[in-house]
Structure 1
Amino acid sequence: MTDSVRQISENDQLRADIYQLLAALLRRHPSPELLDFLANLEIDANDDNEMTKAWLSLQLAAKQFSTEQLEDEYFTLFLGVGCGEILPYGSWFMTGSLMDKPLALLRQDLMQLGFEREENVKEPEDHVAALCEVMGVLILEAPGYRQLAFYNRHIGTWIERFCHNLANAPSAAFYATVANLATAFFKMEASAFEQLSLDIPVNCPG
């Protein structure tokens, strides 16, 4: 999968960084260090687009909430007593069930791509944070057609609904701004992958 001489564009590095940031925010509540990083982002406020607006909202939220507050918010949203307000799993959004066929297909693809599940990770591999982590790696290490295939099979069909549900969840305050950033970002990704699909030859391997 890895090409040691592959040149990484500035845009691809930024995309990979955003995937890893979303993964960190969706895997667990943010640490004080991550909140401080978000609060001190350098953002060009003159760029009047959805991504810039989302970054500014997230930055403001990072300045307003403490780690303790966000630990409670994250628990209510994603864990809960028995069940959180949001189920952050691809299988759930694709089939309405957990641990369903999409998870089995995902595990096959991850194995073929050379990814191994860490022993200390309890969540299924179709957790949205895990999928973002994989995409962050693929952007830096895999050709475009592999990124496209993984995105289309395991993320693209449901991520917009996940972002909408998170943005409108009853307990979402800080995480509503995370959802807005994710919404703007995945709209850009969908557009880029749509263009990529037009550029890839039909007989290109999947």
Structure 2
Amino acid sequence: MTVHDPESGADGLRADVYRLLALTLAAPPGADLLALLGGLSGDATPIGRAFDDLAARARGTDPQAVEREFNALFIGVVQGELVPYASYYRTGFLTDRPLSALRADLQALGLERAPGVSEPEDHIAALCDVMAVLIREGADPAVQRHMLDSHLMPWAGRFFQDLEGAETAGLYRPVGTIGRLFLEIEREALNRQTDQLEEADA
């Protein structure tokens, strides 16, 4: 099976979107990231309009306001409005079976949690970062599909939809839209790729 060319335009864009999602969901964006987000521009497609919305919101806020929003969404006094972990969305419990399965797959790929990182590997930001790394390194499409099908597709769409509708979401509302639409695009692309491979093998 051919390996993805990480320098190709399509794969480079995919990696960039995953990386953007990872950065915004791992921690509240500081001034530099807000400036980067504020410079984004989209097109007339639904996801393009979501990027425009994100850029406008980034230009109209500041790091302190975004930190308050992030804390309300994901941390809270006891728990944030959303719990951004695969295990929680899939089983209702933290550090459950989905995390164990993910850790086994990451170990097989030679990937491990960075030193000093305390968040479990099934955090949405960590999974988006893993996808960005796999794409940038030109991982086999079958590996990418396995990660998506096994660890993102079963729950991440619901998470992003919840983020879109979260009561405390401001800057993060279009982040949810981008994530939801991007995963739909990823699913369609992978399905087309599978069909092409099956036709080639026939």
TM-score normalised according to structure 2 size: 0.92
CA distance in 1 between partners of 2:148 and 2:68 (Å): 31
Q: Which residue of 2 aligns with 1:68?
A: 64
CA distance in 2 between partners of 1:196 and 1:140 (Å): 18
Q: CA deviation at 1:8?
A: 2.6
* 1:19-45 alpha-carbon deviations (Å, 9 max, x no partner): 01100000000010011111122x25x
* 1:56-93 alpha-carbon deviations (Å, 9 max, x no partner): 10010001111000000000100011100000001111
Given that 2:5 and 2:11 are in contact with CA atoms closer than 8 Å, whether structure 1 keeps it comes out as no
Amino acid at match of 1:77: L
Q: CA deviation at 1:6?
A: 4.7
Whether 1:31 aligns to 2:30 is: yes
Q: Which residue of 2 aligns with 1:140?
A: 136
Q: Which residue of 2 aligns with 1:122?
A: 118
Q: Which residue of 2 aligns with 1:161?
A: 158
Whether 1:150 aligns to 2:147 is: yes
- Amino-acid identity (%): 38
Q: Which residue of 2 aligns with 1:180?
A: 177
Cα gap change, 1:101 to 1:173, in 2 (>3 Å): same
Q: Secondary structure of 1:84's partner?
A: coil
Q: Which residue of 2 aligns with 1:105?
A: 101
Q: Following superposition of structure 1 onto structure 2, how do residues 9-48 of structure 1 map, counting pairs within 5 Å? A: 9-41=8-40, 43=41, 47-48=43-44
Given that 2:6 and 2:12 are in contact with CA atoms closer than 8 Å, whether structure 1 keeps it comes out as no
Structure 2 unaligned regions, length at least 5? none
TM-score normalised according to structure 1 size: 0.90
Amino acid at match of 1:38: L
Given that 1:145 and 1:200 are in contact with CA atoms closer than 8 Å, whether structure 2 keeps it comes out as no
- Taking only aligned residues, the RMSD between alpha carbons, in angstroms, comes to 1.8
CA distance in 2 between partners of 1:40 and 1:8 (Å): 23
Whether 1:85 aligns to 2:81 is: yes
CA distance in 1 between partners of 2:87 and 2:148 (Å): 14
CA distance in 1 between partners of 2:6 and 2:121 (Å): 29
Given that 2:69 and 2:168 are in contact with CA atoms closer than 8 Å, whether structure 1 keeps it comes out as yes
Amino acid at match of 2:126: A
Amino acid at match of 2:74: F
Cα gap change, 1:112 to 1:200, in 2 (>3 Å): farther
Given that 1:148 and 1:197 are in contact with CA atoms closer than 8 Å, whether structure 2 keeps it comes out as no
Amino acid at match of 1:190: R
CA distance in 2 between partners of 1:200 and 1:93 (Å): 32
CA distance in 2 between partners of 1:200 and 1:126 (Å): 30
Given that 2:6 and 2:135 are in contact with CA atoms closer than 8 Å, whether structure 1 keeps it comes out as no
Q: Which residue of 2 aligns with 1:192?
A: 189
4+ residue runs over 3 A deviation? none
Total equivalences in the alignment: 197
Q: CA deviation at 1:182?
A: 1.2
Q: CA deviation at 1:95?
A: 1.2
Given that 1:19 and 1:133 are in contact with CA atoms closer than 8 Å, whether structure 2 keeps it comes out as yes
